[in-house]
Amino acid sequence: MAYDPRPVEPSIYKRWLEAGVFQPRPDAEPYVIVIPPPNVTDVLHVGHALNNTIQDVLIRFERMRGRAAEWLPGTDHAGIATQNVVEKRLKAEGKTRFDLGREAFVQRVWEFVNKTGNTIIEQLKQIGCSCDWTRTRFTLDPEYSRAVREVFVRLWEEQLIYRGHRVIHWCPNCLTALSDEEAEHHETNGNLYHIRYPLADGSGSITVATTRPETLLGDTAVAVNPEDPRGRAFIGKKVRLPIVGIEIPIIADEAVDKEFGTGFVKITPAHDPNDFETGKRHGLEMPLVMTEDGKMGEPGNEKRETGNVRVPADLVGVDRFEARKRIVKQLEKEGLLEKTEPHRHSVRRCYRCDTVVEPRLSDQWFVKMKPLAEPVLAKFRAGEYQIVPERWRATYDHWMENIRDWNISRQIWWGHRIPVFTCTKCAHQWADRVDPQACPKCGGSVEQDPDVLDTWFSSWLWPFATFGWPNETPDLKRFYPGHTLVTAPEILFFWVARMLMSGYHFMGQRLPFTTVYLHGTVRDTKHRKMSKSLGNGIDPLDVVKLFGADALRWTLIAGSSLGADVILDPQDLETTFAPGRNFANKLWNIGQFVLGQLPPQVPALESVDRRALTLADRWILSRAQAVIREATQSLADFRLDEAAKRCFEFVWNELADWYVEAVKPRLKDPASQAVLAYCFDLALRLLHPVVPFITEELWQKLPERKGELLATAQWPAPRAEFDDPRADQEFGRVKTAIEQIRSIRAEYRVTPKTRVRATIVPRGNDKAATFEGERDTIERLAQLERLTFDGAPDGVGAHAVFGDGSEVVVALEGLVDVKTECKRLTEEKERLEKQLTSLAARLTNDSFVSRAPQDVVAKEREKEKAWRDQRDILAGKLKSLGCS
């Protein structure tokens, strides 16, 4: 009978909500996870499903272990991303945000957010997330905004915020500055253009190489390394800048890379961060030659009809990439293009809209990060918090060690407005916790900075701003610091590192969590990241509809080992999620069977006389203690897949395939019922964090539940009195004997209905008593007519050796056609011997052994050994069948 999760899951979830089980227990030690807040515009994708299922497994595990489990949910206002979505909608109406004006536009975004912002929260419920929904936060909530402003003002007062005039990453599409992290590197095939700059004195030319020839309009010098002999004679001379026609100097600068191109580099201080530094060192002019939207022009110097000082009239307003083509063409025409080479290099793109970022000289607000990072890095090196898996340690350490100041101002409208005010009269500038009416110095009118803060400047406060900081709330006292942070490695620097810094800085040098668990990425079978644009995504809610949330969760958890990528096939949901669905079905069927056996009042394990327990009972009880220990340890070590697989093995194999089969004739026996009930209850508890719905549903059906919920039931503790190594060993031998007989039956194609005779000859530590005591079990599970212990049966038989050299012989007389079997086995043996002869010849050939790579030779030797073993097995079979 197949399990149908569809009616079960929503009603179970409702029950959990009504019982308030997701809220932390009032009087226990807390265990806290804060959710990586999804963007308020997000709809659930499979990456969210993985991230949140991992968190849910951990929080459910700790909840059952008796902790006050607080999984704090919420959403991020996602400045640029959300603004982009609303701007796109406006565009469809033929409008821009500037047509609406700031206030009306922000209003419009709020309307959008209020209407759709809850989507992802509702979707998280469908996959079973047990977040504390009573504490759901949004990064633009009034209280949260107060925390953001408080942090800004405090950093201002500590002089860790400053106005920087420098080249930053600019997105010409989003029309805002970006941080280093938001301007992502992409390896790109471009060109390296070698351009001749004629010397002003007419004595020839020098050549510079660039990937962005359009920026030459903004060149104010050519630089050469003073150590470079090729350039020495030219230092101090002037060149005539192509296209523009003005003269610029050749300067010496030690920062110039002698290995790049010709050794001469063009210096464009307003459009390249390194050139900006060079420009500062040499006091060069820094003209912009592009407008904010990535078109050629000279902001502040716009005379469109005549062109400007630097940008010719026919290039004004032309897009930068079109301008590149035209300039290259013009250079070619004038004989100034020496050559064009294909060139692979890194180009930065906006992480929100994928537009190529333009380096641009601009005034922005920055946070000095070194003082924030240093103590947090020291704590990391001292082992006070950990990053798993370990391979991220070096990357993190390096980034923290080389941390750069953080550009926090964005030229957009959706977000936390920067609380910096300037007096229009006396120019006094300050940061304020409340909006001031007038200048405190002269009473003049004030203007607020027009920009908003980087979204990450609010989310970096998530572990404490969500609990009411800066107020000393009871929640803050109880839930800070938290414990585990689960996220994708992509936001290690955007978010995780900064949370560690803000937590340490603002929360009394207490870090917000002790473990950062970085999980893998969900990819398709070609190992491509799943994305909307590639069309290779999987909608987790489709999976929930088809197979249930448990099947989705099972596949994600069992399929992802610590930090490794999860591979799913979007073309074949059926096969991809079959393991999860099959497991749910199996568990359901075992459950139906177990429930069918149990009386309304199951005897407690404690009340059972230990002497009434059979070997199988003692064995499964001992295995149960092992699975408790192993699953608990795996979950505590974040090896979620191992925990899931170990529980699977226990339920499917040890409990269902062996124990239940072994005790079937004794199921009316109270001892067996007590053992069965204990083991099944235990399995449901251990599996609950991974597959919460089906386990809760089955658990509710167990006798004597009295309204308790599995979600808050106790995590099982191992009971040492049931550890039984002897039972493990003895039942282990019985299992092996049965498996040996089964494999002989399969080998000789004995039909399942046919009962056969078999003999076991125990040797070494294998005692006859062990097998004799389980004669009935062995006979039943191996479909034997009779099991004896008195030597090999007469006539034809197949034998196998196991354990300490014990032997099992299965009588095959009259069951197999001996002649045909002998022929088949003889042919197989002959084939193997031929292969062995030629392999042996190769391996004794000196020229092969000495010339072939060592690992090839080693592989051949391994092969030889495997074939020999196979041949010996065949020889044994031929002998036991009596073939001549």
Which residue ranges make up the site for Zn ion (CB under 5 A)?
171, 173-174, 350, 352-353, 355, 423, 425-426, 428, 439, 441-442, 444
CA angle 45, 46, 50 (to 5 degrees): 125
| CA distances in angstroms from 374 to 152, 398, 404, 504, 815, listed in the order given | 20, 12, 12, 11, 78
Instruction: Give the C-alpha separation, 252 to 234, whole Å.
Output: 9
Give the contacts of 29 (CB within 8 A, at least 6 positions apart). Answer: 67, 68
Nearer to Zn ion by Cβ, of 299 and 444: the residue is 444
CB of 157 to Zn ion, least distance (A): 19
- Residue 247 or 447: the one with the smaller Cβ distance to Zn ion is 447
- Classify residue 416 by its DSSP letter: P
Quote the least distance from Cβ 350 to Zn ion, whole Å: 3
Cβ-based nearer residue to Zn ion, 426 or 768: 426
Give the 3-state secondary structure of residue 809: strand
Buried b (16+ CB within 10 A) or exposed e, 193-205: bbbbbbbbeeeeb
Residue 174 or 286: which CB sits closer to Zn ion?
A: 174
Q: Cβ 271 to Zn ion, closest distance in Å?
A: 17
Q: Distance of alpha carbon 877 from its chain centroid, rounded?
A: 51
Helix (H, G, I), strand (E, B) or coil at 349: strand
CB-based contact 778:787 (threshold 8 Å): yes
Task: Provide the CB-side half-sphere exposure for 189 (13 A, CA).
Answer: 1
DSSP, collapsed to helix, strand or coil, labels residue 752 as coil
When the beta carbons of 350 and 810 are compared against Zn ion, the nearer one is 350
Tell the smallest beta-carbon distance from residue 176 to Zn ion (Å): 7
* Strand, coil or helix: 611: helix
Is residue 376 within 8 A of residue 501, CB to CB? The reply is yes
Instruction: Give min distance, CB of 443 to Zn ion, in A.
Output: 7
End-to-end Cα distance, the chain: 51
CA distances from 776 to 408, 654, 673, 790 (A): 76, 19, 19, 17
Tokens (6 digits) for 601: 């009042």
The residue among 293 and 542 lying less far from Zn ion, judged by its C-beta, is 293
State the nearest-atom distance from the C-beta of 497 to Zn ion, in Å: 23
Residue 623 and residue 617: Cα distance in Å, rounded?
A: 10
| DSSP string over 328-348 | HHHHHHTT-EEEEEEEEEEEE
Concatenated DSSP letters of 36-71: -PPBTT----HHHHHHHHHHHHHHHHHHHTT-EEEE
Q: How far is the CB of 153 from Zn ion (least distance, A)?
A: 19
Three-state DSSP state, 193: strand
DSSP-derived secondary structure letter, 179: -
Nearest residue (CB) to Zn ion, 76 versus 807: 76
How many other C-beta atoms lie within 10 A of the C-beta of residue 302?
13
Q: Cβ(478)–Cβ(132) under 8 Å?
A: no
Q: Using CA atoms, how far apart are residues 35 and 37, in angstroms rounded to an integer?
A: 5
Asked if 545 and 552 touch (Cβ cutoff 8 Å), the reply is no
Closer by beta carbon to Zn ion, 426 or else 856: 426
H/E segment holding residue 839: helix 818-844
Residue type, 601: Q
- Nearer Cβ to Zn ion, position 456 or 588? 456
Instruction: Considering the complex, state which of residue 64 and residue 412 has its C-beta at the smaller distance from Zn ion.
Output: 412
**Max intra-chain CA distance, the chain:** 116
Q: How far is the CB of 553 from Zn ion (least distance, A)?
A: 35
Give least dist CB 167 to Zn ion, A: 17
From the CB of 441, what's the least distance to Zn ion, in Å? 5
For Zn ion, give the closer residue by CB, 320 or 688: 320
Pick the closer one to Zn ion by CB: 97 or 829.
97
* CB-nearer residue toward Zn ion: 389 or 444: 444
CB of 346 to Zn ion, least distance (A): 18
The DSSP symbol for 649 reads I
Contact at 8 Å (CB) between 508 and 534? no
| Cβ-count burial 93-116 (b if 16+ within 10 Å, e if not) | eeeebeebeeeebbebbeebbeee
Nearer to Zn ion, 352 or 799 (CB): 352
With tokens 């000082």, the residue in question is: 309
Q: How far is the CB of 651 from Zn ion (least distance, A)?
A: 50
Give the orientation angle of helix 615-636 with respect to helix 640-648, to 10 degrees: 170
Q: Which is nearer to Zn ion, 340 or 411 (CB)?
A: 411
Whichever of 174 and 239 has its CB closer to Zn ion, that residue is 174
